[in-house]
Homo-oligomer: A and B are copies of this chain.
Amino acid sequence: MNSVQGPSFQPLYLQIKDLLTQSLDAGEWKPGEAIPSEMVLAARYKVSQGTVRKAIDALAAENIVVRRQGKGTFVATHTEEKSSMFRFLRIRRVDGVDEYPHRRLVDIRRGKASAEVARLLLLRPGEAVVILRRVLEYSDEPVVLDEITLPAALFKGLTKARYDAYRGSTYSFFETQFGVRMVRADERIKAIAADPASAEILKVAVGTPLLAVERVAYTYGDRPVEWRRGLCTTKNHYYLNQLG
């Protein structure tokens, strides 16, 4: 059922994958919901089940959907079992115990995108942004001091009260409250000395070496929608990475 292929050839299953991504992006199926079965999608797109399967396999490999045998294929969520909660949280306790930190919002303020943020988030310089400052606490110990910058246009009505009231991870909050789902991120890590303000919040001496982690997070279609910078104490914690 493959149509005539234009000059810029793309396999059928990748075309189907793009169509599915568009539907996901448009919110046709919400996070946590099931997408139609392979047979139904095959009928809709007039291709064989095997081709739909390959398209879904590709989405599953990117953690955009989750397959569950016997039940169906579901739009991935940041509100899930432990396994996926640590996908975007690489900080671990040195003793190896998996602990999900308590997040304490220091303040929210509105501002204009700096040249750097505008460049990274593909905004016009000076465009409105929302900036959250947070502290992540592990067993009541402050470990990470965060600053999260978001395009205001996508996060209308983001207030401290709403953030504090939400139970669950920050990306789960973004996803359920603003329909912005993070699918991928790039991080750059440096080591820096604690400045007085950060040192006080993290309860370390001024000049203590900290990890400085900068992140750009992307939603469907590789659109950047979050910039964050975190300072992390590594007295009792480390940053975990798997190279494969």
Contact = CB atoms under 8 A, between A and B. Distances in A.
Number of copies of this chain in the oligomer? 2
A19 interface: no
A241 B191 contact: no
Interface in A169-197: 183-193
Contacts of A45: none
A240 B187 contact: yes
Interface residues of A, number: 32
27 contacts: A61-B61, A62-B244, A90-B241, A184-B243, A185-B242, A185-B243, A185-B244, A186-B241, A186-B242, A187-B242, A187-B243, A188-B238, A188-B239, A188-B240, A188-B241, A189-B189, A189-B211, A190-B238, A191-B191, A191-B209, A191-B210, A191-B234, A192-B234, A193-B209, A209-B210, A215-B243, A241-B241
Given A184-B243, A186-B242, A209-B210, 15 more contacts: A63-B244, A92-B188, A184-B244, A185-B243, A185-B244, A187-B240, A187-B242, A189-B211, A190-B211, A190-B234, A191-B210, A191-B232, A193-B209, A211-B211, A215-B243
